[in-house]
Amino acid sequence: MTSPVDPIGCSGFSRRAFFRFAAGASALASLPILTEAHLALAQRPQFADPNKGIHIDANENPLGPSEAARQAIANIIPRGGRYLFDIQEDLAATFAGIEGLNPESVMPFPGSSQPLHFTVLAFTGKNKPLVIADPGYEAPIWAAKVSGTPVIKVPLADPKGAATHDIGAMLAASSTPGVLYICNPNNPTGTTTSRADIEYAVANAPRGAILLIDEAYIHLSDATPSLDFVKEGKDVIVLRTFSKLYGMAGIRMGLAIARPDLLEKIGSLGGLNALPITAVAAAKASLVDKDLVPTRRKIIGDIRADTLAWLKADGYACTPSVSNCFMLDVRRPGKEVLAAMAAKEIFIGRIWPAWPTQVRITVGTQNEMLAFRKAFTEVMAASTAGLVPPLLPRKLAEHPFTHLS
């Protein structure tokens, strides 16, 4: 049994795993592979029952797996006594066929966090820094800590407008970068970096640098994918995940797409593990469902547009997101708003130190966003009147991911 204030209850991790993790935080070699959910949990001001309240803090997809994916999982369960490497290969071949790629350029993983982590480990080092946008997705930074790799954070260009990656500044940041990380669309802003800028980065990255293009959210937008650079044999690694539009974060499936020699380096760090056949089957069913991407893009896009329009009408500035998350400027310490919302069991977040008055909001269902609006109106009214309660006490000693925030 777990209580609502039990860190294990809110993370799903076993108690023993948690203590190992916390104890290992200073022993860098044992740092785990982090996902968005770990980072979101690290900023929760209070412990939460995952079955209660509204969770729009980890860029998850409340729609879950598609009907076809659910059916595929049910159908394959009886074969669960076998490893079935053939369906793993079939998944890579199916994706390659759809995208016009060589199947050897596609490597499946249980989510894209693993190949992201491995790419940083394989291609950076003490003299080969990681260059990353800020605010950006920090999981690569946590991977860089494992190898003691220097990290160069480059502020987003036009932060009050398009909030794109500043490709010129990223290229100028180091003469020997190991990895240049471009998240397109970006987490947390939901904004895209233009095709022209990415082409410029591919053409002008210093020799030996890998361009890691994270397309976790690409299906939600109409941004141009970067898979053609892989076909051209460039030093580019593209990551895809089934955690976002496909709603399979808990099922776990992702793909690394790159030249076979680059994949070999990533794979040598742990890419040959057998994958859960349920996840492989669900991913394949999702890929071949032609309606899924446009249907879900529209559902999530409409709710996003509605929420952004409501916030704008109320005088709030948000990043021009084309994804399932956006940054909202609350014009006061974001932490206070996050805590006051959490007290109403509406879990928003996260906050990036570079933008302390902004909070990230994940686009949930329409009902969830209506609940968000109601609570947000109340919180902001109380805050303006000086009534926001003090920050909720945070049980530091018990919190599983405190050291990440």
Q: Binding to ligand PLP by residue 137, rule CB under 6 A?
A: yes
* Beta strands in 349-403, from DSSP E residues, in sequence order: 358-362
Q: Binding to ligand PLP by residue 191, rule CB under 6 A?
A: no
Nearer to ligand PLP, 109 or 372 (CB): 109
Instruction: Find the part of the chain contacting ligand PLP (CB under 6 A) among 87-95, 105-113, 172-180, 278-286.
Output: 105-113
Nearer to ligand PLP, 187 or 193 (CB): 187
> Is 130 in contact with 142 (CB distance < 8 Å)?
no
Number of helices (H), then strands (E), belonging to the chain: the values are: 15, 11
Q: How far apart are CA 217 and CA 232, in angstroms?
A: 23
Name residues contacting ligand PLP, limited to 257-316 (CB under 6 A). none
Site string for ligand PLP, 57-86 (x = CB under 6 A): --x---------------------------
Q: How far apart are CA 157 and CA 284, in angstroms?
A: 37
Nearer to ligand PLP, 226 or 243 (CB): 243
86-90 — which CB contacts under 8 Å span 24+ positions? 87/277, 87/280, 87/281, 87/284, 88/274, 88/275, 88/280, 90/284
Contacts of 218 (CB under 8 A, 6+ apart): 184, 185, 225, 240
Q: Binding to ligand PLP by residue 243, rule CB under 6 A?
A: yes
Q: Binding to ligand PLP by residue 319, rule CB under 6 A?
A: no
Name residues contacting ligand PLP, limited to 203-232 (CB under 6 A). 214, 216
| Residue in 66, 164, 174, 187 binding ligand PLP, rule: CB under 6 A | 187
3-state secondary structure of 326: strand
Instruction: Find the part of the chain contacting ligand PLP (CB under 6 A) among 5-13, 44-52, 108-116, 351-359.
Output: 108-116
Q: Binding to ligand PLP by residue 112, rule CB under 6 A?
A: yes
Q: Binding to ligand PLP by residue 334, rule CB under 6 A?
A: no
Q: Binding to ligand PLP by residue 249, rule CB under 6 A?
A: yes
| Residue in 116, 171, 303, 337 binding ligand PLP, rule: CB under 6 A | 116
Instruction: Find the part of the chain contacting ligand PLP (CB under 6 A) among 8-16, 110-118, 204-212, 307-315.
Output: 110-118
Q: How far apart are CA 362 and CA 364, in angstroms?
A: 6
| Residue in 111, 159, 190, 364 binding ligand PLP, rule: CB under 6 A | 111
Range 102-131 burial, b when 16+ CB lie within 10 A, else e: ebebbbbbbbbbbbbbbbbbbbbbeebbbb
Q: How far is CA 273 from CA 108, 114, 255, 270, 400, in A?
A: 10, 11, 14, 6, 27
Q: Please give the residue ranges that form the binding site for ligand PLP (CB under 6 A).
A: 35-36, 59, 111-113, 116, 137, 183, 187, 214, 216, 241, 243, 249, 254
